[in-house]
Structure 1
Amino acid sequence: MPEPASSAHLLQTLLAFDFGLKRTGVATGNTLTRTAQPLRTLSAEGDARFDAIARLVAEWQPAALVVGVPFHPDGAAHDNTRRAQRFARQLHGRFRLPVHEVDERYSTTEALAEGARDADAAAAAILLEQYFREHA
C-alpha cells in the first residue's frame, strides 16, 4: 500500500516576476496556502538583474518560477510580450527550474488600484495568486 503524501510534498515555494525593462517586481508564495506576498522590486538590468535573481533563488529555494507575460487587451502579442517570454526562457536556462507564464494584463493597474506602495512587487504577487487560481 502506498504511503500517504507528506506535507513536505504539498508545500512548494514559488517565485513570481513582473518583468519590465527597468524594473522587475518579485513575489513569493507557496502551494500550501496558495497565497503570495510581494518581496521587492529589482531595478537592475542585464546580468545584474540575474545576479539579484540568483540570490533570491538561493534564499527561497523555489520549486518553480512564474513570469507575467503582457498582451494587448485583445490578446495580441507586442514587443513586451516577446521580451517577457525571452526573460522566462532565460530564467529556465540559468536556473533549470520549471517556468510558468501567466497573462499579466492589468496586474500593475490592479496593484495601483489597491494602493500598493511597491506596485511592481504587488503586481508579481497578483500574478502568482492568478497562477494558483488557474492551477487549482
Structure 2
Amino acid sequence: MKYKNIKIIIAFDIGLKNIGIAIGNTLIKKSRPLLTIKNCNIKKTFKKIKLIIKTWKPNYFIIGIPYIKSNIYKYCINFSKKLFLHFKLKIKKINENYSSIIIKKKKKKDSKSASLILQQYFYNI
C-alpha cells in the first residue's frame, strides 16, 4: 500500500558556524537528527545539502528562525531565501528561540536542535 499524502521534511537549525539537519515525515510525525554540516561558504554548504536532498527527496524544508530580531535572524532569513532560490522547494519557518539552549549535550547539538524544530512543527500540524 502506498501512502500518497506522506511528506518527507528536512529541517535546518542554521548557525553561523554549523547547520544542524534533521529528517521526518508526516505519517509518523517524528523527527530525528540527521547530521551537522560546517557552514563555511554557501557554495560548499549547498553542495552538501544537495547530496542530502538527492538521498532523501524531501517535499519541503522547515527552517528554524529566531524571532528575536538580531544578526542571526537576518542571516537565517537570507539563508532561507537562498535555499529556496537554489533548490526550489517550499520553505516553512518555525520559531526556534532557545532550541539550542534546550538541548543540553554538546555532542550533535545542532542536528538535535533541528530535530526539536521539526518536532515542534509536527505538534502544530
Which category describes the TM-score, using the shorter chain as reference length? over 0.9
SS at match of 1:9: coil
Corresponding residue of 1:81: 73
Alignment partners' CA distance in 1, 2:106 and 2:118? 16
Q: In 2 relative to 1, CA 13–116 (structure 1 residues): closer, same or farther, beyond 3 Å?
A: farther
SS at match of 1:105: coil
Question: Among residues 99, 109, 113, which one is paired with 2:101 in the alignment?
Answer: 109
Identify which range, 7-16 or 86-95, moves more after superposition.
Answer: 7-16
Matches within 5 A, 1:1-136: 7-45=2-40, 46-72=42-68, 77-112=69-104, 115=105, 117-134=107-124, 136=125
Runs of 4+ aligned structure 1 residues displaced above 4 Å come to none
TM-score of the superposed pair, with normalisation by structure 1: 0.86
5+ residue gaps in structure 1?
1-5
Bigger proportion of residues as strand: 2
The alpha carbon displacement at 1:122 in A equals: 0.1
Alignment partners' CA distance in 1, 2:71 and 2:39? 20
- The total of aligned residue pairs comes to 124
5+ residue gaps in structure 2?
none
Task: Name the Cα RMSD after superposition.
Answer: 1.4
Alignment partners' CA distance in 1, 2:99 and 2:112? 8
What is the aligned-residue identity percentage? Answer: 27
Alignment partners' CA distance in 2, 1:50 and 1:61? 15
Determine which structure has more spread, i.e. the larger CA radius of gyration.
1
Deviation by residue 1:62-95 (Cα, 9 ceiling, x = unmatched): 00001101133xxxx1111111011111111111
Amino acid at match of 1:120: D
TM-score of the superposed pair, with normalisation by structure 2: 0.93
Alignment partners' CA distance in 2, 1:60 and 1:116? 26
